[in-house]
Structure 1
Amino acid sequence: MDPLPAVHERTGHVHREPGSAVVLITGVMASGKSTVAELLARRLPRAAHVRGDVFRRMIVSGREELLPEETAEARAQVELRQRISALVADEYARDGWTAIVQDIVLGADLARYVTRVRTRPLYVVVLAPDAASVHDRETGRPKTGYGPWTVDALDQVLREQTPHLGLWLDTSELTPQETVTRILADLPRARVQPD
């Protein structure tokens, strides 16, 4: 089903509402994924926010975090989490919802994730603020996400190892609300057509 044109009631911008679809919001830690995904879901008439990290936290014992020097077990757990979130997103979309998936899906994981999602249309939005903005955001957050990672190292994975799929937005100077407005206005550019 193709998305239908709609006019946003506050801004007057014409955008497309995805309808029964999956939208993946990805980026580095502190790029604004959870805030943007929640705001986007609230701006659509029928949407679910699928938080990838929930599936990571469901593992109570034996959990291994993905570190810069990843282990086979940590990699397997990331892939399990991504398979589950893709399945959940597909189920919401199958029932007529727009599933907004929010997770860190970078590097080769992004292309794999696109093939895991069966729903069409599928949209990918990559939040790509510059590293200095991410440093500032991370400093201002009550939680610390980076641990053994550095902002610069994860930013390098984003910019040098992640395939350029969907809509990439430099959100360094955008508020979350402005980011959502841009996503809705540019939704056709976010659509991906897996092989």
Structure 2
Amino acid sequence: MSAAVYLITGIQAAGKSTVAQALAERLPRSAHVRGDVFRRFVVGGRAEMSGDPSAEAVEQLRLRHRLAARTADEYAEAGFTAVLQDVVLGEFLPFTIGSIRTRPLYVVVLAPRPSAVAAREAARDKSAYGTFTVEALDSALREGTPRLGLWLDTTDLSVAETVDRILEQARPWSS
């Protein structure tokens, strides 16, 4: 398999990190790029996203997505398949797709039912939901995010089954 980029998105606790890691482990030469790490790099002056984000928070989110896209491209240029995962919703999905130069690019949206996400969130050691709720982010995903790429309801799928579906059903992005 030649170098490519997989963009894995969905709301918090949708299984992005776990699925991205499992997908990367199935590929012969791969890198798992965790988009949230770029947010954590900002130490002074970080503006957090909220339901009503400031202009600075939006700009920092765009920066985060650009940096993640460039990192994925650099791995692909070096011959790795990059599996980039992050929360990329609404207008940020076409923005991030447009920021990734590598082709083929596969876009995968994990969209389990909100009840499954809430159960996963309750079972985690960490809390991903501060000012947001599962229902609000799920609404932003389903109602405010363009239907680009492969959308998977992973509610009843294991991680291995989800990776199988991605490898079988994802098609290269074409703009």
Q: TM-score range by the shorter chain?
A: over 0.9
2:20 matched to 1:41? Answer: no
Q: Report the Cα distance in structure 1 between the residues aligned to 2:173 and 2:167, rounded to whole angstroms.
A: 15
Who is 1:31 aligned against? 14
Who is 1:51 aligned against? 34
2:173 matched to 1:192? Answer: yes
2:57 matched to 1:74? Answer: yes
Q: Report the Cα distance in structure 2 between the residues aligned to 1:94 and 1:149, rounded to whole angstroms.
A: 36
Equivalent positions of 1:9-24 (< 5 A) are 17=1, 19-24=2-7
Alignment partner for residue 160 of structure 1, among 139, 143, 155? 143
**Deviation at residue 170 of structure 1 after TM alignment:** 0.1
Who is 2:111 aligned against? 128
C-alpha distance after superposition, 1:79-118 (max 9, x if no partner): 0000000111111111111010000000010011111111
SS at match of 1:192: coil
Q: Which has the higher strand share?
A: 1
C-alpha distance after superposition, 1:147-188 (max 9, x if no partner): 110100000000001011110000000111111111111122
SS at match of 1:142: coil
TM-score, normalised with respect to structure 1: 0.88
Q: Report the Cα distance in structure 2 between the residues aligned to 1:161 and 1:25, rounded to whole angstroms.
A: 17
Q: Report the Cα distance in structure 1 between the residues aligned to 2:131 and 2:95, rounded to whole angstroms.
A: 25
TM-score, normalised with respect to structure 2: 0.98
Runs of 4+ in 1 over 3 A off after TM superposition: none
SS at match of 1:146: coil
**Deviation at residue 28 of structure 1 after TM alignment:** 0.2
Letter in 2 for 1:49: H
Which sections of structure 2, spanning at least 5 residues, go unmatched? none
Q: Report the Cα distance in structure 1 between the residues aligned to 2:73 and 2:142, rounded to whole angstroms.
A: 28
Which sections of structure 1, spanning at least 5 residues, go unmatched? 1-16
Letter in 2 for 1:35: T
2:157 matched to 1:174? Answer: yes
Root-mean-square deviation over aligned CA pairs: 0.8
**Deviation at residue 61 of structure 1 after TM alignment:** 1.2
Larger radius of gyration: 1
